[in-house]
Amino acid sequence: MQSKLSSLFDAFLPVIATLAALAVGAVMLLFLKVNPLEAYAALWDGAFGSANSFAETLVKATPLLLVALGICISFRGDVINIGGEGQMIIGAVLATWVGLTLTGLPGWLAITLAMLAGFLGGAVWGGIPGILKAYFRVNEILSTVMMNAIAVQLMNFLLRGPMIDPSQAELASKIPQTARLLDIFHLPRLAPTRLHLGALIAVVLAILVYILLWRTTAGYRIRAVGQNPNASRYAGIKVPRYVVLALLLSGAFAGLAGAVQVYGVNYRMITDGSSSGFTGSAGFNGIVAALFGQLHPIWSIPASILFGALLVGANKMQRVVQVPSALITVLNGLVVIFVVSSEIWRRRRQRRRLAAAPVEESPPEEDQPNVQTKEANQ
């Protein structure tokens, strides 16, 4: 009975950690002379208060989930992909180009091609650091960060030059944006809200990624390489190939997120010069969502919705109680730090349980995925 209770407690640890983070946020709100209850009520209302706001939450959660799925694959393979931002941008650029060029196609075909283009663009942008890591031993954390910077400048160049909206090119203002996509190329809406097909695609892909990781040989090998590259090599797995595959797939999902963002929300690409102007930092927040979801594709769904809700609710909170919405991004970070730190209690109690258990029970095993990165291995 007691062990049941305690495993229930384990399952709720992320929730408890989230509440703890919110409590810290409340203290910060008090410092800003704002009533935290009022602020959190506004947050909740903004995220879940009506059908429209809930749809908005899901719209924000969609790119987070897509990026998080890629992160699940790469982190399981012990490949730390920080390049979601750049991969999103390249995916979106390629998808936009497809939509603006192939204007003669029927809608469904153009959308399919554009999504594939996004997938491909992200795959290329993730594959480059993958090859650099697998065959040239370049640390992927650093190369993906650099690839982000390159992607941002590439986007700025294209949107100011070759891909600029022809009508903007004639104006003096020259807002760096592409032309708007044809109406028939927009991702279909799912309800009379802004919720679009992309959300459904993301959920289906979450299931597919689960199958990939735990029901296919390729997924097994990615995880094996992540757990122990040396043992994998002796077992005959071509380690470099799976390192590339992990980063390539990870980038592809981020690229798809970029394409979905263009075809489902903005209907064009626009830049303010920084990366977050287009991505809304989804490439980074997706990592946070994946970590919160314990690097499990299915658990990443609620995790993404939680962070989507925080982002949407933040706007409302900002309007109602006049606090900077940056507070929310701080809260996001706090949530993850608390979740990560709460692990210690789980482990400690697990040890105690094992110590108290009868001897004939199975030997203790590490049930955590080994996401410990060793730069020494690279």
Partner 1 sequence: MTQETILIGLAGVLAAAAPVIFAVLGETLSERAGVINLSMNGTILLSAMGGFAAAYTTDNIVLGFLAGMLIGALVALVVAFASITLKQSQVAVGFVLALTCRDLSYFLGNPYMGLPGPRLQAIPIPVLGDIPVIGQLFFRQDPITYISFVAIFLAWVWIFRTRPGLMLQGIGEKPAAAFIRGANVNLMRYVYTVIGGALIGLAGPAYSLAIRAGWMGTISGLDGIGWIALSITIFGGWNPSRAAFGAYLFAFLQWLGLVLQPVLTQVPSQVLQVAPFPLMILTLLLVNIGDAEWVERALAAMPENTRKIMVKLLRAMRASPPAALGVPFERD
Nearer to partner 1, 9 or 135 (CB): 135
Nearer to partner 1, 113 or 142 (CB): 142
Nearer to partner 1, 73 or 201 (CB): 73
Burial of 125 (0-12, 13-18, 19+ CB in 10 A): buried
At position 182, the amino acid (one-letter code) is L
- In the complex, the smallest distance separating the C-beta of residue 35 from partner 1, rounded to whole angstroms, is 19
Nearest to 74 by CA among 225, 205, 217: 225
Q: Return the SS3 of 270.
A: strand
- In the complex, the smallest distance separating the C-beta of residue 343 from partner 1, rounded to whole angstroms, is 6
Nearer to partner 1, 205 or 335 (CB): 335
Nearer to partner 1, 34 or 327 (CB): 327
At position 123, the amino acid (one-letter code) is A
- In the complex, the smallest distance separating the C-beta of residue 360 from partner 1, rounded to whole angstroms, is 24
List contacts with partner 1 (CB under 8 A).
80, 82, 132, 135-139, 141-143, 145-147, 149-150, 153-154, 156-157, 161, 274, 284, 287-288, 291, 324, 326-327, 329-330, 332-334, 336-337, 340-341, 343-344, 371-376, 378
* Integer Cα distance of 268 and 165 in angstroms: 9
- In the complex, the smallest distance separating the C-beta of residue 134 from partner 1, rounded to whole angstroms, is 9
- In the complex, the smallest distance separating the C-beta of residue 7 from partner 1, rounded to whole angstroms, is 21
Whether 325 contacts 314, CB under 8 Å:
yes
Q: How many Å separate Cα 326 from the centre of its chain? A: 19
Nearer to partner 1, 113 or 154 (CB): 154
- In the complex, the smallest distance separating the C-beta of residue 247 from partner 1, rounded to whole angstroms, is 14
The β-bridge partners of 196 are 189
* Integer Cα distance of 223 and 129 in angstroms: 19
Q: In b/e form, how buried is each residue of 12-50, taking b as 16+ CB within 10 angstroms?
A: eebeebbebbbeebbeebeeeebebeebbbbbeebbbee
- In the complex, the smallest distance separating the C-beta of residue 8 from partner 1, rounded to whole angstroms, is 23
- In the complex, the smallest distance separating the C-beta of residue 27 from partner 1, rounded to whole angstroms, is 14
Whether 70 contacts 84, CB under 8 Å:
yes
Whether 225 contacts 78, CB under 8 Å:
yes
DSSP 53-105: HHHHHHHHHHHHHHHHHHHHHHHHTT----THHHHHHHHHHHHHHHHHH-TTS
Whether 107 contacts 73, CB under 8 Å:
no
Nearer to partner 1, 99 or 121 (CB): 121
* Integer Cα distance of 64 and 272 in angstroms: 21
Nearer to partner 1, 238 or 268 (CB): 238
Whether 148 contacts 275, CB under 8 Å:
yes
At position 367, the amino acid (one-letter code) is D
Nearer to partner 1, 110 or 328 (CB): 328
- In the complex, the smallest distance separating the C-beta of residue 91 from partner 1, rounded to whole angstroms, is 19
- In the complex, the smallest distance separating the C-beta of residue 102 from partner 1, rounded to whole angstroms, is 27
DSSP 304-328: HHHHHHHHHHHHHHHHHH---THHH
Nearer to partner 1, 171 or 344 (CB): 344
